[in-house]
């Protein structure tokens, strides 16, 4: 843990005995708020995204890199994000994942993502997305959404400018969303022949409420970052110049926490909505932790040694 992060955690421990209660005791204000310095991971090659890691702050950064179409995605883009997410999930140096876009607002309108790339929709074969990278035309964006929810590490969507359509749903599927004050959010499917009947509908309704979710889909209006914040669609709004620093603060804070506690909290929050698949993920976490107990090891050893297990020699169940 970096020294300044350590200071913030220490602040939560230093006893005052008589001071009045204050939220400052959480130490959050002491977490450094300078932008994260990332290194490009040279070993990973991508066309539509960039992938960076900060080994100092334990953060991976996955960024859409298609500014000419406002970071709209095609099959290649989604497959690359899925691959990068897998790298970040398996990298023990990484505790937190940032999903964002490479914005240069002097050259292009800022955007997180304008959703599915409409120029990649074929005019033959049913109008699905096809950039030649899949044997049958398809966009595995629903698989990406599921992968984001099953990833045990927290994912922060960092939104500059437009988050529209399928791009909007990707920020929704992230665990947290931090936005700049120039961000704009909305669905457009019913206006242009598309709909997300999965997380884009049900998770949206759980997140912002039934009436608001219907409004987003039925009216296809766009909302400012402040409006999105008020409806609980995002976690915080910052000025453009402060965004990267605040992302640094939030990511560093999460990276200083117990990874297992965060993974269990994420799985539990998702399980409520993800049915058997959500419970199965929680069950997987429990089994992995169980494997590390003397009790589970006794079962394994007994099998390998060709004897009956003696669970009695281990004091008791941990539950
Ligand atoms: C976002 C805008 C309102 C911004 O407008 P403006 O600032 O005026 O910029 P433009 O000049 O329009 O755009 C600049 C440049 O980018 C190109 N572009 C923008 N968006 C897209 C796009 N989605 N696809 C392709 N190209 C795009 C635009 O053509 C310009 O190019 P030039 O060459 O410079 O002219 C505005 O851009 C806008 O409305 N964009 C379209 C938004 C949209 O319709 N998005 C698609 C929504 S549908 C979707 O995302 C579904 C896909 C999906 O994820 C999904 C989810 C769940 C289940 C199933 C699926 C599925 O498989 O379909």
| DSSP calls for 217-265 | HHH--EEEHHHHHHTTSSSEEE-HHHHHHHHHHHHHHHHTS-HHHHHHH
Do 212 and 264 lie in one domain? The reply is no
For residue 132, what pLDDT is reported? Answer: 86
**Assigned domain for 37 exists:** yes
Do 24 and 41 lie in one domain? The reply is no
Decide the pairing of beta strands 39-40 and 155-159: unpaired
CA-closest residue to ligand 1 atom 35: 69
Do 150 and 268 lie in one domain? The reply is no
CA-closest residue to ligand 1 atom 27: 69
Q: Which stretch of 90-104, 127-141, 283-297 has the lowest confidence by average pLDDT?
A: 127-141
**Assigned domain for 91 exists:** yes
Spatial separation of the C-alpha atoms in residues 69 and 81, rounded to whole Å: 17
165 lines ligand 1 (CB under 6 A): yes
Residue range 99-123, pLDDT digits in tens: 999 999 888 999 999 999 999 987 7
Final residue in a domain of this structure, among 257, 288, 303: 257
Spatial separation of the C-alpha atoms in residues 76 and 3, rounded to whole Å: 40
Do 209 and 276 lie in one domain? The reply is no
For residue 128, what pLDDT is reported? Answer: 82
197 lines ligand 1 (CB under 6 A): no
Three-class DSSP category at 134: coil
Mean pLDDT, residues 145-157: 98
Do 122 and 135 lie in one domain? The reply is yes
188 lines ligand 1 (CB under 6 A): yes
What helix, strand, coil percent values describe the chain, rounded to 5? 45, 15, 40
For residue 1, what pLDDT is reported? Answer: 59
pLDDT of residue 257 exceeding 80:
yes
Residue range 8-28, pLDDT digits in tens: 777 777 777 889 999 999 999
For residue 318, what pLDDT is reported? Answer: 75
For residue 5, what pLDDT is reported? Answer: 66
Mutating to test ligand 1, I would choose from 116, 117, 142, 193 the residue with most ligand atoms within 8 A of its C-beta, which is 116
Q: Which residues of 31-55 are buried (b: 16+ CB within 10 A; e: fewer)?
A: bbbebbebeebeeeebebbbbbbbe
For residue 84, what pLDDT is reported? Answer: 98
pLDDT of residue 124 exceeding 80:
no
Do 26 and 48 lie in one domain? The reply is no
Q: Above 0.95 for ipTM, yes or no?
A: yes
Do 12 and 114 lie in one domain? The reply is no
Strand partners, 137: none
pLDDT of residue 3 exceeding 70:
no
Decide the pairing of beta strands 49-54 and 39-40: antiparallel
Do 222 and 248 lie in one domain? The reply is yes
For residue 9, what pLDDT is reported? Answer: 72
Calculate how far, in angstroms, residue 116's C-alpha sits from the geometric centre of ligand 1. Answer: 7
Residue range 180-220, pLDDT digits in tens: 999 999 999 999 889 999 999 999 999 999 999 999 999 99
Residue range 230-255, pLDDT digits in tens: 999 999 999 999 999 999 999 999 99
**Assigned domain for 318 exists:** no
CATH number (domain holding residue 270): 1.10.12.10
CATH number (domain holding residue 107): 3.90.226.10
Three-class DSSP category at 176: strand
112 lines ligand 1 (CB under 6 A): no
Does the pTM surpass 0.90? The reply is yes
**Assigned domain for 252 exists:** yes
For residue 17, what pLDDT is reported? Answer: 83
Give yes or no for a contact between 59 and 94, defined as CB atoms under 8 angstroms apart: yes
Calculate how far, in angstroms, residue 253's C-alpha sits from the geometric centre of ligand 1. Answer: 34
Residue 286 belongs to domain spanning: 260-313
For residue 285, what pLDDT is reported? Answer: 94
**Assigned domain for 319 exists:** no
Do 46 and 79 lie in one domain? The reply is yes
116 lines ligand 1 (CB under 6 A): yes
Spatial separation of the C-alpha atoms in residues 250 and 104, rounded to whole Å: 23
DSSP string, 43-111: T---SSEEEEEETTTTEEEEEE--GGGTT-B-HHHHHHHHHHHHHHHH-TT--EEEEEE---TTTS--E
For residue 157, what pLDDT is reported? Answer: 99
Calculate how far, in angstroms, residue 44's C-alpha sits from the geometric centre of ligand 1. Answer: 27
Do 136 and 269 lie in one domain? The reply is no
**Assigned domain for 209 exists:** yes
The Cβ of residue 4 has, within 10 Å, a number of other Cβ atoms equal to 13
238 lines ligand 1 (CB under 6 A): no
pLDDT of residue 63 exceeding 70:
yes
Calculate how far, in angstroms, residue 196's C-alpha sits from the geometric centre of ligand 1. Answer: 15
Answer with the residue of higher pLDDT: 191 or 136: 191
Calculate how far, in angstroms, residue 57's C-alpha sits from the geometric centre of ligand 1. Answer: 34
Mean pLDDT of the chain: 94
**Assigned domain for 199 exists:** yes
Q: How many residues does the chain have?
A: 319
Domain count for the chain, please give it. 3
Do 175 and 230 lie in one domain? The reply is yes
Give yes or no for a contact between 185 and 235, defined as CB atoms under 8 angstroms apart: no
pLDDT band for position 146 (cuts 50, 70, 90): very high
CA-closest residue to ligand 1 atom 36: 114
**Assigned domain for 54 exists:** yes
Final residue in a domain of this structure, among 241, 257, 273: 257
Report CA 112 to chain centroid distance, whole Å: 14
Do 150 and 232 lie in one domain? The reply is yes
216 lines ligand 1 (CB under 6 A): no
Mean pLDDT, residues 32-40: 95
């Amino acid at each position: 843990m970096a020294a300044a992060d350590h200071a913030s955690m220490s602040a939560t421990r230093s006893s005052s005995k008589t001071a009045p209660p204050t939220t400052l005791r959480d130490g959050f204000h002491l977490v450094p708020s300078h932008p994260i310095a990332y290194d490009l991971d040279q070993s990973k090659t991508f066309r539509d995204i960039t992938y960076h890691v900060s080994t100092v702050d334990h953060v991976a950064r996955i960024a859409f890199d298609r500014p000419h179409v406002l970071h709209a995605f095609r099959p290649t883009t989604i497959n690359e994000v899925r691959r990068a997410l897998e790298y970040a999930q398996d990298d023990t140096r990484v505790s937190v994942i940032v999903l964002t876009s490479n914005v240069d607002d002097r050259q292009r309108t800022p955007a997180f993502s304008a959703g599915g790339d409409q120029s990649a929709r074929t005019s033959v074969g049913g109008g699905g997305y096809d950039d030649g990278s899949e044997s049958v035309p398809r966009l595995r964006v629903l698989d990406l959404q599921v992968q984001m929810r099953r990833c045990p590490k927290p994912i922060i969507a960092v939104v500059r400018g437009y988050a529209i359509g399928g791009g909007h749903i990707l920020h929704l599927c992230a665990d947290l969303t931090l936005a700049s004050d120039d961000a704009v959010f909305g669905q457009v499917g019913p206006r242009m022949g598309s709909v997300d009947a999965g997380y884009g509908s049900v998770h949206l309704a759980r997140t912002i409420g039934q009436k608001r979710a219907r409004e987003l889909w039925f009216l296809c209006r766009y909302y400012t970052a402040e409006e999105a914040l008020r409806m609980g669609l995002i976690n915080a709004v910052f000025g453009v110049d402060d965004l990267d620093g605040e992302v640094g603060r939030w990511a560093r804070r999460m990276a200083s926490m117990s990874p297992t506690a965060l993974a269990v909290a994420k799985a539990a929050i998702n399980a409520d909505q993800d049915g058997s698949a959500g419970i199965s993920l929680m069950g997987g976490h429990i089994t992995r932790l169980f494997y590390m107990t003397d009790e589970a090891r006794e079962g394994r050893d007994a099998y390998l040694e060709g004897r009956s297990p003696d669970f009695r020699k281990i004091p008791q169940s941990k539950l």
